[in-house]
Chains A and B, each alone.
Chain A
Amino acid sequence: MGKIAFDDVSAVVIIGSGAGGGTLANELCQKGIKVVCLEAGAMQSSASFINDEWKSFAQLAWLDARTTSGSWRIAKDFPGLPAWICKTVGGSTTHWAGASLRFQEHEFKVRTHYGAIDGASLMDWPLTLKEMEPWYAKAEDKMGVTRSNGIPGLPGNNNFKVMHAGATRLGYKEVHTGRMAINSRPRDGRGRCLQLGFCFQGCKSGAKWSTLYTELPKAEATGKLDLRPESHVTRIEHNAAGKVTGVVYFDKDGRAQRQKARAVCVAGNSIETPRLLLMSASDKFRDGLANSSGQVGRNYMRHMTGSVYAAFKEPVHMYRGTTMAGIVGDEARHDTRRGFVGGYEMETLSLGVPFMAAFLNPGGWGEDFTWWMEHYSQLAGMWLVGEDMPRESNRVTLNRDVKDKYGNPVPNVHFDDHANDIAMREHAYTQGERVYQAAGAIRTFRTPPYPSTHNLGTCRMGARAADSVCNAFGRTHDIPNLFISDGSQFTTGGAENPTLTIVALAIRQADHIADLMKRKQL
């Protein structure tokens, strides 16, 4: 690993090492650009990952204090845990399920296709699918996405068999084991999936793509990367000219350090990224960095989600094999005859007994609850994930009443479901139940949303500086050497799991940064 001096002003500082930050780090290093990657979490490995839901949660999850407000059920069930994301090298790519879906063409232009919707801040992306296609192709190749690049699909497990039988009986056509960044056969120095069933707990076989053991070691091999785990950034600094000059962070021993930078790229996930910009407010930027539009922290999206579990007379053993083992894509289309704009995906999901108890029906008790736990081995499950409406009032702000261990205000996450989200969830629950009824379910259950795993939109990209934070390359409108490099950039959310798009945008951003440097514009 290359060591970069604290006062070296030639390096790009990247905050975060997940899908956005980890990918960007490798892409820049491959181009010969020096990178300091500051990761708040600790280093783990496939060997240290734990096949145990609560122990793994303690090892990987972001558990720093957060608060919640709004009418979403999370604020009642998990008031201190708005999101289930990670604080570890590799970020939430250690935890993600692996679903790698491209946005649909219309999802980049929702204001055009959906029109104006009350209570929603819909806006077109300053990008088209056509512009994104080559970057999606690079991302799919990098991540080894099944059903792309000649890579076969994964074998379906029992949970998928149930979904497939029900969905095809219902007439759905697009039902298969998905486009997954999980090796169905050995590729890129990593083995094939062993069907461990602990995708969310860090993949112990390494078959699932994670920046932890793909992008980051490749970046280190160039000698250009200085990766610093357990380095928690609390402030981005700037000069009188309004350019960022570096960051202040606390290292693993709790010492404050200042790292100079040529450019700063923020990839802390959509809660920490806006929090850091807001915490970096100064006399020059009183509302926080890159916030002349007032949009930093706003338009927080988490996807419309929900789950359906179903019990059958016969055993299923859904916990065996890949957690997200298959998908129904038929409802992902935009078709307002269903009573809402946008669409959703149905994806198998399973939880072990410990997390089933925590998430099946938070707050539940009594015989209705225990019936489901006793039928655990006969359950099948699916997750419903669709496009939610961006709203200016759904927002990450600084909660000055609660402080973290560095004395900084914690983020508050406010969320109210839009009527469109509620209508879509109702439709999705109904269709999910129908899928399982068609497969012979004896009972079905509508599980409410889990703490958010898809956090998006809080530093949205847009064509105009007046109503967006960054441009189509993630470069902030206000500060030319400050970039947004994670899902915070998303103008709107699409129906698809966001990681592939985050990775594609990071590859594209790296090209842009290298180009700006070559032209002496950065």
Chain B
Amino acid sequence: MQAIRIAAAIRDGSSSTASGRDLPLTRRQFLKGSGILFGTLAIGTPLAALAPSPAWALELKTLDTATGETLLKFGRVLFPHPSLPDAVYAVLVKDLDAMAAADPKLALQLREGVAGLDQATGGAFAKADAAAQLVAVKAIEGSPFFATVRGKCVTSLYDNDMTWATFGYPGESWSKGGYITRGFQDLKWLPAPPESASPPPYMG
């Protein structure tokens, strides 16, 4: 449920527009981390309905903005989902930043890894074309930096209720009484098994 944490960032930024430059001064002062990422959710999408505001902002504790932006793009190359907004990948950056804050060695690994990606793409990985990004990522597959980011993606991107909503996974079912009356056997495009194989549900 990583989205809860980014939802807080979204809520904090709700008085501003999408661009950081338009933030009221008090907001800027409040966001005193070393880097900041901003974005918006497309209005009218299911995800925008989940969030209190379409605008989101992520304050970084340890990593700078350029490193954060590169890691976000790296996440997009590793797990490319056109249907997921940057807000999902920003959770990855948030989680990596938290790891970096707790472990200077890991912070160094991330900074050096990002520098390597930049170098491999002629200076700016985040601005390189998709083919060049993919080549650069393939070249570092198996490295500790690659493993750190790929491993973090598994939870940051997929243990994330914005992702669940996009892919149609509703999460917990207990509060809704499970699926016994909510479609656990509603599949109609194949023949129903005989009662000997699948008896009817007991309904009291």
Contact = CB atoms under 8 A, between A and B. Distances in A.
B43 to A, nearest CB: 22
Given A161-B187, A354-B155, A176 B150 contact: no
A158 B80 contact: no
A54 interface: yes
B174 interface: yes
B202 A157 contact: no
Contacts of B199: 152-155, 177, 184
Given A353-B158, A366-B80, A315 B167 contact: no
A321 B185 contact: yes
A441 B184 CA distance: 20
B174 A376 contact: no
B168 A377 contact: yes
Nearest to A365: B78
A192 B157 contact: no
A36 B197 CA distance: 43
Residue among B79, B169, B178 facing the most chain A CB atoms (10 A cut-off): B178
Interface string B171-183: 1111001111011
B171 A52 contact: yes
B186 to A, nearest CB: 7
Chain A interface: which size bin?
A: 35 or more
B184 A321 contact: yes
Interface string A342-366: 0000000000111011100001011
A51 B180 CA distance: 16
Given A54-B155, A353-B163, A196 B198 contact: no
B189 interface: yes
Contacts of B200: 155
Nearest to A55: B1
B190 interface: yes
Nearest to A163: B193
B167 A377 contact: yes
A205 B177 CA distance: 9
A316 interface: yes
Given A155-B198, A156-B198, A319 B169 contact: yes
Contact of A153 (B154, B168, B198): B198
A204 interface: yes
Nearest to A351: B169
Contacts of A366: 78-80
A37 B138 CA distance: 53
B187 A162 contact: yes
A314 interface: yes
A76 to B, nearest CB: 11
A376 B79 CA distance: 15
A224 B154 CA distance: 47
B79 A365 contact: yes
Contacts of A156: 185, 193, 197-198
B143 interface: no
Interface of B: 1, 78-81, 83, 150, 153-155, 157-159, 163-164, 167-174, 177-180, 182-187, 189-193, 196-202
13 contacts: A54-B159, A156-B193, A161-B187, A161-B193, A165-B191, A176-B197, A176-B198, A195-B179, A315-B168, A320-B182, A352-B171, A365-B79, A369-B79
Interface of A: 50-54, 152-158, 160-162, 164-165, 175-177, 184-185, 192-198, 204-205, 314-317, 319-321, 326, 352-354, 356-358, 363, 365-367, 369-370, 373-374, 376-377, 439-440
